[in-house]
Amino acid sequence: MSETPDATRLLIDYGNGRKESLDEMLPLVYAELHRLAEKYLSRERPDHTLQPTALVHEAYLRLIDQHSVDWQNRAQFIGLAAQMMRRILVNHAEAHRAARRGDGLQRITLDESIAFFEEQNLDLLSLHAALTELARFDEQKSRIVELRFFGGLTIEETARLLEKSTATVEREWTFAKAWLKRALT
């Protein structure tokens, strides 16, 4: 994901009170958000009722409703959009599970970039619970997983967003993967 100065400028303008900046920014990030939504939904059950466009729109509406965010750049926006998509899918999965009274959790396959998960199938609710548990004792490691897995950010983009060195992010990413592997198996 390359940094787009126009999107960054528009986010900063929005943060400074220029509300129409978001209308100008949506076309600059829409394709990327749609790809993320397609990727997430490809891991969901075949009869999933959410479509990528609906997921993008719901995440975008939640993002523009954020009033306490200090918008800095496109990577931050995409990272937060990924977090919103995760929350939407978790809420949807919880509602679906409740409707089916716990019968048959849907399965997802984690991203190919997480090598040790390649052969495993995990349900989204278990992953969410594990990330919530990880955040209880180390919020930064949980955030790194969220940005890398759900946001699709590289180590470098994650480091820039969190204002950490790439070595720190790599070390914490390695630890978080090992912790999640233990928690989910």
Residue 150 pLDDT > 80? no
pLDDT score of 165: 93
pTM: predicted TM-score of the whole model, two decimal places = 0.54
* DSSP conformation letters of 95-141: HHHHHTTT-S---EE--TTSGGGTT-EE-HHHHHHHHHHHHHH-HHH
| Domain termination site, one of 86, 102, 118 | 102
pLDDT, one tens digit per residue, over 94-133 is: 776 766 654 444 443 344 334 434 444 556 777 888 888 8
102 Cα distance to chain centroid = 25
Tell whether 11 and 93 lie within a shared domain.
Answer: yes
Average pLDDT, the chain: 77
Question: What's the CATH number where 169 sits?
Answer: 1.10.10.10
| Domain termination site, one of 70, 102, 134 | 102
CA distance 174 to 177: 5
Tell whether 85 and 59 lie within a shared domain.
Answer: yes
CA distance 122 to 14: 38
DSSP, res 20: T
Tell whether 136 and 89 lie within a shared domain.
Answer: no
Its domain, for residue 127, covers 107-185
Query: How far does the chain reach from its first CA to its final CA, in angstroms?
Result: 32
